[in-house]
Copies of this chain bind each other. A is one copy, B any other.
Amino acid sequence: MNGAESLVTTLLASGVDTCFANPGTSEMHFVAALDRIPGMRCVLGLFEGVVTGAADGYARMSGKPAATLLHCGPGLANGLANLHNARRAASPIVNIVGDQATYHRPLDAPLTADTEGWARPVSGWVRTATTAGTVGRDAAVAIQAARTAPGQIATLILPADTAWTEGGVVGEALPLPARPLADPHAIAGAAAMLRQARARGEQVLVLLGTDALLEAPLALAHRVAAATGATLMAMGSNARIARGQGRVPINRIPYPVDQAVKALAPFQHVILVGARHPVIFFAYPGKPGSPVAPGAEVHLLSRPEHDPTDALARLADELGAPPAAAPDPGPRPETSRGALSPEAVARTIAALLPEGSVVADESITYGRGFFPNTYAAAPHDWLSVMGGAIGGGPPMATGAAIGAPGRRVVNTQADGSAMYTLQALWTQARERLDVTTVVFSNRKYQILLGELANVGANPGRTALDMLDLGNPDLDFVALAAGMGVEGARADSCEAFADLLRGSLGRRGPFLIELLV
């Protein structure tokens, strides 16, 4: 058994059975090992950003890490933006990067780079394997690291000779540390504060993040809110929210700074449940860096690594909060008619989303109002790109479809962002994944036009050209066809509804370009 074979066997023994890959020369022994050892689903991406973004989406839906397979420092570099997003999502990933043989590295061959240096900022754990005899053990530790709550990226760098040399030893699956629980004092303190605030007429915001937005903790948070008059809100971007009929409707902190400040202005208290202290995406001259109201107190119930269901259950019990049914969002909307608008598109999506579907959302500006219009959809999960690195959507949808087989994925996708990692469509075609991509083709970097206006500039030709995706117009139907994905274009709500309905009723990927 060589090192590569010990690595593959170790991954399988620890339950890592899916590998998103874009291999190169230094990974050929790993590829050969995948041939010899059955059990690993290998998914090829034509670009590393597809590989890492898919591993992120997969982890969010399956709850466990996939392996990646990347080629040397530059291959890792191509995957960093979506690893950055995955890090912000606390997605577990066993990130395997093949590299130069240990003894070849000092010769500084052309592809040699600072692989560890590039990996470190996105990784909770980094190790470069040193021998074939220990790489199995390295992999077992990597898997343990990746699965440590709330989930992180464990990068294992695999010099070619540690893969090809005989003497590999399978690494025994290591125990996962029990998930830590929130501090009892934090529970008691939050309960006391909620009671006191109610008595004083002060407003409390319960801010949920990480996996506090899954169905069970969200229901518990609603129980707390119903008993205390507190308000629930989600972070601006979230790894996964359980939404739709029967789930507790919850809105997000808005993206634009003024709206975010306004949304949090009423609250004298903010309780964080798996959420970080909220912060505005970017600084603006004369604007605050956080939407939390000046003078408001920020309290910690549980950190992202703590079990949010446990923390919220204990808080609800401490408060003696009675059961509370999720508010009725009203009937499922009808599909819209007439001209396309963000609200009309959202209602059509809400009307047609199948039960159990997954929305992989990178709609940027066009989708900002989608949330309130989709509360009454069938039950579904909603995934956001978490780190602000654009190009997360199509790969995340790809990985989500593999991590949640049998559930349709709808990728609501901005056009500018789509162009960073559109190669994901090819993987969707090859793997016959049930993904509908809806591209909002406004033919500009709309978000940046807004930001430029904020700067107070009266944009001239140069600026407009740098934010304009027209000249020439992108043709997403042709691009999809070039990668084996069927698609069609719509410029009305009726046409969109027809295409969306059709795509949801078929197997395999489909792309809808909305001319908005």
Q: Footprint of B on A, CB under 8 Å?
A: 21, 23-26, 28-29, 31-32, 34-36, 40, 42, 44, 46-47, 49, 72-75, 77-78, 80-81, 84-85, 88, 100-101, 103-104, 107-111, 113-114, 117-118, 120-122, 160-161, 164, 236-237, 276-277, 279-283, 285, 289-290, 386-389, 391, 416, 419-420, 423, 426, 429-430, 447-448, 451-452, 454-455, 457, 459-463, 465-469, 471-479, 481-484
A482's contact among B36, B103, B476, by CB below 8 Å, is which?
A: B476
A84's contact among B25, B74, B109, by CB below 8 Å, is which?
A: B74
**Would you give 27 A-B contacts (Cβ < 8 Å), ordered by A?**
A25-B451, A28-B448, A28-B454, A31-B448, A31-B452, A32-B455, A32-B463, A35-B457, A44-B468, A46-B416, A46-B469, A47-B391, A47-B419, A74-B387, A77-B84, A78-B391, A78-B420, A100-B283, A111-B281, A113-B387, A117-B121, A160-B283, A161-B285, A164-B455, A474-B483, A478-B482, A482-B482
A419's contact among B31, B46, B477, by CB below 8 Å, is which?
A: B46
- B44 A466 Cβ-Cβ under 8 A: yes
Q: Which of chain B's residues have a CB closer than 8 A to the CB of A476?
A: 482
- A426 B289 Cβ-Cβ under 8 A: no
Please tell me how many copies of the chain the complex holds. 2
Bound Cα distance from A469 to B478, whole angstroms: 19
What's the nearest-Cβ distance from chain B to residue A164, in Å?
A: 6
- B455 A389 Cβ-Cβ under 8 A: no
Which residue of chain B is the closest to A161 with respect to CB atoms? B283
- A84 B73 Cβ-Cβ under 8 A: yes
Bound Cα distance from A34 to B276, whole angstroms: 37
- B478 A481 Cβ-Cβ under 8 A: yes
Contacts A47-B419, A80-B118: A457 and B73 contacting too (C-beta < 8 A)? no
Which residue of chain B is the closest to A109 with respect to CB atoms? B279
Bound Cα distance from A154 to B461, whole angstroms: 29
Bound Cα distance from A437 to B31, whole angstroms: 31
Shortest beta-carbon contacts, A-B, top 10 = A472-B484, A74-B389, A479-B482, A104-B283, A478-B482, A101-B283, A114-B121, A77-B80, A111-B388, A32-B457
Which residue of chain B is the closest to A483 with respect to CB atoms? B474
Contacts A74-B389, A104-B289, A471-B430: A466 and B110 contacting too (C-beta < 8 A)? no
- A23 B420 Cβ-Cβ under 8 A: no
- A44 B160 Cβ-Cβ under 8 A: no
- A23 B484 Cβ-Cβ under 8 A: no
- A109 B282 Cβ-Cβ under 8 A: yes
Which residue of chain B is the closest to A111 with respect to CB atoms? B388
What's the nearest-Cβ distance from chain B to residue A308, in Å?
A: 20
Q: Which of chain B's residues have a CB closer than 8 A to the CB of A460?
A: 35-36
Which residue of chain B is the closest to A279 with respect to CB atoms? B107
Q: Which of chain B's residues have a CB closer than 8 A to the CB of A84?
A: 73-74, 77, 113
What's the nearest-Cβ distance from chain B to residue A145, in Å?
A: 19
Contacts A29-B455, A31-B466, A121-B73: A237 and B110 contacting too (C-beta < 8 A)? yes
Q: Which of chain B's residues have a CB closer than 8 A to the CB of A73?
A: 84, 121
Q: Which of chain B's residues have a CB closer than 8 A to the CB of A481?
A: 475, 478, 482
What's the nearest-Cβ distance from chain B to residue A23, in Å?
A: 6
What's the nearest-Cβ distance from chain B to residue A94, in Å?
A: 17
Q: Which of chain B's residues have a CB closer than 8 A to the CB of A282?
A: 25-26, 100-101, 104, 109, 111, 160
Which residue of chain B is the closest to A105 with respect to CB atoms? B283
Which residue of chain B is the closest to A44 with respect to CB atoms? B466
- A467 B100 Cβ-Cβ under 8 A: no
- B104 A472 Cβ-Cβ under 8 A: no
Bound Cα distance from A276 to B465, whole angstroms: 42
Contacts A28-B452, A84-B74: A290 and B107 contacting too (C-beta < 8 A)? yes
A49's contact among B21, B78, B280, by CB below 8 Å, is which?
A: B78
Given contacts A32-B457, A74-B389, A78-B81, 4 further A-B contacts (CB under 8 A): A74-B80, A114-B121, A118-B118, A472-B484
- B451 A28 Cβ-Cβ under 8 A: yes
